Amino acid sequence: MTDRKVRKLEELVRELLLLIGEDPSREGLKETPARVARMWLEELSAGYREDPTTHLKTFTATDAGLRNGVVVVRDIPVRSVCEHHLLPFFGYAHIVYVPNGAILGFSKFARIVDTFAKRLQVQERLTRQVADFLYEGLKPRGLIVLIDAIHTCALVRGVEEPMYLTTMEVRGIFKEDESLRREALALLLQSSTLRLKSIQE
């Protein structure tokens, strides 16, 4: 992050405040442009400057005591900004995979999801990006990535309702074997963060 970018973004925020009818020089807003600039450049858009492959730390499945079976990682926090209205959406990601010789370090799932989430997003693309990255990097026999989130663009404007959106990407044997896919989804439904009664249909 450069000082030039910070200063430029501060100027834009001041202009925004003026355009909506505010006075950026009043006491409560004097430091707002600087705060907003730092927030966007250091946090909300950090994913543009981060390489998710740095978090792809894998272990041999047999060394970890796993020979056959399903790995479920639930309730990974998702915090992103919708590209349509620049308003937040947030929820949880849930990942199921069948290893094919390699497993991913537990904390790395959250870091990978966060890298893709800290960009302007739509939930459907975010789900696909995480699934594509994990399927290519881990090369599992099967993979499911499901994200369940609430969008503040629907909560504070438009219909003004707290609607949840669930998106899912399926890869490998989960796509080919319906019964196995149903078993995996049943495991995910045990998570208290999933709002839908059924995602198996």
* Annotation says 84 is catalytic: yes
Please give the Cα distance from 67 to 198 (Å, whole number). Answer: 30
Q: Average pLDDT by consecutive 10-residue portion of the chain (201 residues)?
A: 88 97 95 96 95 90 64 94 95 94 92 98 98 96 95 81 88 93 85 49 43
Helix (H) or strand (E) holding 99: none
* Annotation says 200 is catalytic: no
Please report, as a single letter, which amino acid is at residue 27: E
CB 59 within 8 A of CB 102: yes
> Phi then psi for 60, rounded to 5 degrees?
-70, 130
> pTM for the complete prediction?
0.88
CB 46 within 8 A of CB 81: no
Q: Out of 10, 55, 82, 121, which one is annotated catalytic?
A: 82
* Annotation says 123 is catalytic: yes
How much is the pLDDT for 195?
54
How much is the pLDDT for 198?
43
How much is the pLDDT for 189?
77
Domains and CATH numbers, the chain: 3-44 (1.10.286.10), 51-188 (3.30.1130.10)
What are residue 30's DSSP bridge partners?
A: none
CB 138 within 8 A of CB 97: yes
Q: Out of 10, 55, 123, 169, which one is annotated catalytic?
A: 123
Q: Out of 42, 84, 124, 136, which one is annotated catalytic?
A: 84
The b-or-e profile of 17-31 (16+ CB within 10 A means b, else e) is: beeeeeebeeeeeee
Q: Would you say the C-alpha torsion 188, 189, 190, 192 has a positive or negative sign?
A: positive
* Annotation says 85 is catalytic: yes
How much is the pLDDT for 75?
92
How much is the pLDDT for 91?
95
Q: Out of 22, 50, 153, 200, which one is annotated catalytic?
A: 153
Q: Out of 83, 136, 176, 178, which one is annotated catalytic?
A: 83
* Annotation says 83 is catalytic: yes
